[in-house]
Amino acid sequence: MLEKQQRETTWMRPPDGGPPKEVPADPAQLVPLMVAGWSQCEPPQQPDREEEN
């Protein structure tokens, strides 16, 4: 399921350096973002959960 999810989405970062956004890996959605200056990026790091005592 996780693998399927990874295949179907990717992460894109806006040109203004704002937070990345997960978008469907669909050219119809990717192309307007790419034209607008968005670039592919790594998924953001998930913050580590503090262990409860």
Write 45-53 long-range contacts (CB < 8 A, 24+): none
In the chain, the N- to C-terminal Cα span, in Å, equals 32
What minimum distance in Å lies between the beta carbon of 41 and other proteins?
A: 10
Distance of CA 23 to the CA centre of its chain: 6
* Cβ closest to other proteins, residue 3 vs residue 48: 3
* Cβ closest to other proteins, residue 42 vs residue 50: 42
Rule CB under 8 A: which residues touch other proteins? 3, 6-7, 10, 12, 15, 25, 27, 30-32, 34-37, 39-40
